[in-house]
Structure 1
């Protein structure tokens, strides 16, 4: 990891820690606007700060495993740890780089999902119903709420069209 990225992540981790302490201060708790703003920023920074902490722990573990490579009795076990931790570090670094990308202002908005059966008669209607069930289950697994706004069934048991509103955190971002 380059120094610029490490410094940025260190600043974020320090800010997250600072906000955690600030949220415990009585003067902040009494001021609802300040408390709400600090709470939101703290929640926004949490995933990055936690991922950076995992990265630092993996880095320490890798350094320890490399030291154990010199011991002939521990060499095989240490080699397994080096391989595992090297892969983990790569994944965490990619995750951290993605987390630092600027957020789209629309990411927090809700989504209107429209599914219409195309040309194909009953098969298309059945496929549209399968799509609706798939998106509904996906939304439920993510903790989002899906609410049908318009529903038109086909004669064979499928759907001619369905329009639904998906509400939740980062729905549009997905």
Structure 2
């Protein structure tokens, strides 16, 4: 979509938002408000790029007319700076245009499971959960814990969180797969380095218009919530287990004290998993038409190693490493995320 068409669409959204009848349609109001915010970012970045182009042209003209060596050198330096700023602005504009797609998920669900490595694998899964929660907080996204099964020493056997934010899916879509850690576990007395794994799965949250489950296909069970070690921590049956009878898919939620909230969270997770299954089936059927991708849904793929003795994170898909592991684990994932997005963009252009 060109900027002129986008401006016209933006004006139309503003006009609709001024309609008093919209007060009775809260979902439509929210949809338009989010759309307005997305468009404003794009239009602002487009104007910034246009201003830089104007400055760049003016500098080129000044450079051609300048005959004093000192001023000529300064003009050349400023020209280089403007060129770098324009390149960055144009790249950001393209990314913003990508976020403006109507079908872009506004929320996603991340699921964490301990892999090989026993208790250390569970501790690593907990570290990954914390890392993504911190990253989401830095981005200003809303996170909701759907399900969590903790071990006695603070690891997690499994957990699921929902992350809601305008650009959350774009940033996190390549994080699914097997994550490997190499470190000396806190449970290791001999000081030996262990290798363990945890798996991250990612599902775009299903919108109501995308996927709805027939209530007759659901088996709903209520149980007591449990804590580390499996002990019951709530005498009321607030935990919810949902089974999709046609597929046998089971989900569980116990993070809230409210039975209704747990049921809603479990249903959201189940709908998202079923939607992903449906999309994966469609993808296989259209395999010959697929573009080059990193493959965010490939859960069995080993994607990344966190090497603590060498203070290094390596992403095996793009064969790139970063130092400052503790900083990355504290939620500062932008260098890694940006590299993956740039690689994907470059691969798509070549395809």
Q: TM-score band, normalised by the shorter chain?
A: 0.7 to 0.9
2:126 to 129, 137, 160: 129
Please report the RMSD computed on the Cα atoms of aligned residues, expressed in angstroms: 3.0
TM-score (structure 2 length as normaliser): 0.40
Q: Using structure 1 for the length normalisation, give the TM-score.
A: 0.75
Matching residue within 30, 36, 61 for 1:42: 36
The answer as to 2:13 corresponding to 1:32 is no
Partner of 2:144: 147
For residue 68 of structure 1, what is the aligned residue in structure 2? 62
By percentage of residues, which structure has more strand? 2
Q: Tell me the distance in 2 between the aligned counterparts of 1:14 and 1:74.
A: 43
Deviation of 1:85 after TM superposition, in Å, equals 1.0
Whole-Å separation in 1 of the counterparts to 2:15 and 2:50:
24
Paired residues of 1:113 and 1:163 also in contact (CA < 8 A) = yes
Residues 1:14 and 1:167: Cα distance change in structure 2 (over 3 Å): closer
- By how many angstroms is 1:127 displaced? 0.7
Which structure 1 residue ranges, 5 or more long, are not aligned? none
- In 2, distance between residues paired with 1:39 and 1:143? 17
- Contact 1:68 1:74 (8 Å CA) reproduced: no
Which of 104, 107, 114 is equivalent to 2:105? 107
Give 1:56's match in structure 2, choosing from 38, 44, 50. 50
Q: Is the 8 A contact 2:147 2:161 kept in 1?
A: yes
- CA distance 1:83–1:10, change in 2 (3 Å): farther
Which residue of the other structure, out of 159, 163, 168, is the alignment partner of 1:171? 168
Structure ranking higher in helix proportion: 1
Asked if 1:9 is matched to 2:7, the reply is no
**Structure 1 pair 150–32 and aligned structure 2 pair: CA distance change class (3 A):** closer
Gaps of 5+ in 2: 172-351
3-state SS of the aligned residue for 2:170?
A: coil
Between the aligned partners of 1:128 and 1:40, the Cα distance in structure 2 is 33
* 8 Å Cα contact 1:58-1:89 kept in structure 2: yes
Counterpart contact for 2:14–2:36, Cα < 8 Å: no
Q: Does 2:154 match 1:157?
A: yes
- Structure 1 Cα separation of the partners of residues 120 and 32 of structure 2: 52
Q: Is the 8 A contact 2:6 2:39 kept in 1?
A: yes
- The number of aligned residues is 163
